[in-house]
Structure 1
Amino acid sequence: MSSGKDAEAAVLEAAAEDNPPPGFEMSRTRGPYTTHNGPFYHQVTEEGFWHGVRLKTRHCNSRGIAHGGMLMAFTDGILATAVFRATKRPAVTMRVNSDFLSSGKAGEWLQGTAAVTRVEGDVVFVRGHIECEGRQVLSASGVFKITD
């Protein structure tokens, strides 16, 4: 069984290897699925927030580009973050629509952001996008239902 000190050392080693852009910090409050697929990073500014990840081979498909399922899971997290930041309430995904515009490869930095566009009762509408090394990779819209 590893100690908390060993776990912290592994986190710091991953962060050094990932070399996130300035201002990004490792996210440490993710659920087990997202933590397994990371490590993921975040940055909060006055304009909003960004989530990011250094793409690894495990994030890619057999063609060597970021797998669509990985991009969708990453997008869902970004959209959900926007919903929580705007409402301060937990919500679940009802629908996500996406357009794949480009791709990312292992070693590249992928980042995305989103913003709520409308709230109607316990239903929240949100839009977001992902970019990689200056290329738009995906745009998305989603609908979430507040659960509390």
Structure 2
Amino acid sequence: MNEPQGALKPPPAGFAPNPSRGKFTLHNGPTYRASARGDIRTGMWVLDRHCNGMGFLHGGMASAFSDSALAWAVWSATGRMSVTIKLTLEFMDIVPEGTWLEAHPEVTAIDGDLVHVRARLVKSDGHIAARADAVFRSLRRRAT
């Protein structure tokens, strides 16, 4: 695999590396989190390994990125680890290799252990690439 310059580019100002949460994340990253207090955006450079044969972001990678960003929003709102119950994506536009992509998540409801959350995946040009909608079950154990 030849990784483009995106693999070497730092994230935009206001983002810091996202600590890995396991082998899957290590392989599919790197991802970045907004560093300002209360800002729960997650970002990534779309690299060659994230793309399908046509050279743009693979739907499975978009789903994995969304899932991670939404889980971060749930943790930020509840202080609890969680598992995905439902995740749906509506794809709006292609995301070419080398594009900076951000997830802009929002928790919409908390009903006991169920947390409803959604996000827009926004390209660096401001266009919405996808919308994600999910339900997570928060675990009783608090995250450390």
User: TM-score band, normalised by the shorter chain?
Assistant: 0.7 to 0.9
Q: 1:46-65: CA deviations, max 9, x gaps?
A: 55221111111111001111
2:26 pairs with 1:35: yes
* Inter-partner Cα distance in structure 2 for 1:16 and 1:138: 22
- 1:60-139 aligned at under 5 Å gives the runs 60-133=51-124, 134-139=126-131
TM-score computed with the length of structure 2 as normaliser: 0.86
Label 1:108 to 1:15 Cα distance change in 2 as closer, same or farther (>3 A).
closer
Aligned 8 A contact 1:103 1:132 in 2: no
What SS is found at the alignment partner of 1:102? Answer: coil
Q: What is the letter of the counterpart of residue 66 of structure 1?
A: L
| Unaligned residue ranges in structure 2 (runs of 5+) | none
In 1: Cα distance, 2:40 partner to 2:73 partner: 8
Return closer, same or farther for 1:118/1:106 CA change in 2, 3 Å cut-off.
Answer: same
Max Rg structure = 1
Runs of 4 or more above 4 Å deviation: none
TM-score (norm 1): 0.84
Identity %: 37
| Unaligned 5+ runs, structure 1 | 1-13
Measure how far apart 1:87 and its partner are.
0.4
Corresponding residue SS for 2:41: strand
Q: How many residues align?
A: 135
- The structure that is helix-richer by fraction is 1
Q: Give, in whole Å, the separation in 2 of the partners of 1:68 and 1:49.
A: 22
